[in-house]
């Protein structure tokens, strides 16, 4: 049975059933991607991807454009639904009820239930997606007030602390149009942190920035890593990967080809494909 032909109600291949509540390989595993495929029509974007990210770990995804890195992030955050395979956060399968139906099918969660699962994950995109009519402070306050129902005074106090954390305490009352790209991206990071996420996903957070602004965003990511935030980062910044990553994951044509420590993957690549990629970016 090909992934494309699977019933979309089955996040796990029915030939190899597994209970969503099964204990993860390690009690500290936060993210588990198991046999994930993703197709858009005839385009097979992800092919049998497996990935485990443990608590406090930084996983950096590298690879050429179009290799599936961003799609994998979007499957973790349920912005895309895997065609086959499944994603678990803290051992809980994402997007489906914990118990299969009597006929073995998996019952998809409601939109509200999926939103509740997704709220535990912060995601920062290539583009900043700030609300242009709100100040930096207003952008960071918005979700805690509107989604969590946090009183405005408490939300403001929290937002100011987060803006200080990302080095923008003096820009709280500035609108996005008055901020540099690096400053806007740091506001976006503070906005994601305002929801108290258990883990953070970064989809090429520096790719839209001028080169001189990249370091200020990477500094924030390094600080988050030092604080023990569980993170998955898609980036072409190999220096960041070498310095911060616990594991580097190389993807090409929808597959995970190599993974390991920065020393293993960056300094001692095994495949010719990875060697060629590193030669083009280092």
Instruction: Give pLDDT tens digits for 151-207.
Output: 999 999 999 999 999 999 999 999 999 999 999 999 999 999 999 999 999 999 999
CA dihedral 62, 66, 67, 71 (to 10 degrees): 90
Cβ atoms of 278 and 269 closer than 8 Å: yes
Per residue in 119-151, pLDDT (tens digit) is 999 999 988 889 999 999 999 999 999 999 999
- Confirm if 51 and 248 have CB atoms less than 8 A apart: no
Average pLDDT, the chain: 89
The residue-averaged pLDDT of 255-260 equals 97
- pLDDT of 18: 37
Residue 244 pLDDT > 50 = yes
- Residues 76, 17: Cα–Cα separation, whole Å: 20
Residue range 5-60, pLDDT digits in tens: 344 434 444 333 333 333 334 448 999 999 999 999 999 999 999 999 999 999 99
Task: Grade residue 234 by pLDDT with cuts at 50, 70 and 90.
Answer: very high
Report the distance separating Cα 139 and Cα 15, nearest Å: 47
The three-class DSSP label of residue 169 is: helix
pLDDT tens by residue, 56-96: 999 999 999 999 999 999 999 999 999 999 999 999 999 99
pTM above 0.85, yes or no: yes
Count of C-beta atoms within a 10 Å radius of residue 53: 23
Q: What residue ranges in the chain does DSSP mark as E strands?
A: 29-40, 43-54, 58-62, 84-89, 92-93, 121-124, 199-203, 230-234, 247-252, 255-260
């Amino acid at each position: 049975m090909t992934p494309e032909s699977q019933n979309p109600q089955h996040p796990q291949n029915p030939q190899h059933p597994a209970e969503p509540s099964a204990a993860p390989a390690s009690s500290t595993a936060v993210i588990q991607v198991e046999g994930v495929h993703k197709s858009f029509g005839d385009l097979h974007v992800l092919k049998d991807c497996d990935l485990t990210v443990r608590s406090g770990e930084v996983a950096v995804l590298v690879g050429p454009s179009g290799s599936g890195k961003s799609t994998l992030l979007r499957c973790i955050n349920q912005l895309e639904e895997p065609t086959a395979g499944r994603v678990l956060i803290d051992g809980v399968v994402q997007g489906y009820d914990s118990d299969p139906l009597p006929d073995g099918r998996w019952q998809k969660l409601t939109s509200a239930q999926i939103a509740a699962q997704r709220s535990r994950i912060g995601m920062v995109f290539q583009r900043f997606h700030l609300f242009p009519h709100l100040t930096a402070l207003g952008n960071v306050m918005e979700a805690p007030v509107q989604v969590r129902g946090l009183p405005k005074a408490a939300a403001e106090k929290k937002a100011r602390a987060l803006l200080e954390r990302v080095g923008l305490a003096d820009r709280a009352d500035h609108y996005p149009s008055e901020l540099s790209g690096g400053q806007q991206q740091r506001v976006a990071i503070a906005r994601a942190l305002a929801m108290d996420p258990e883990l953070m996903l970064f989809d090429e957070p520096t790719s839209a920035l001028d080169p001189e602004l990249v370091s200020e965003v990477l500094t924030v990511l390094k600080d988050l890593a030092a604080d023990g935030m569980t993170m998955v980062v898609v980036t072409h910044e190999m220096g960041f990967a070498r310095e911060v990553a616990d594991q580097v994951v190389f993807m090409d044509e929808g597959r995970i080809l190599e993974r390991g420590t920065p020393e293993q993957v960056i300094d001692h690549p095994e495949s010719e494909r990875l060697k060629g990629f590193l030669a083009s970016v280092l």
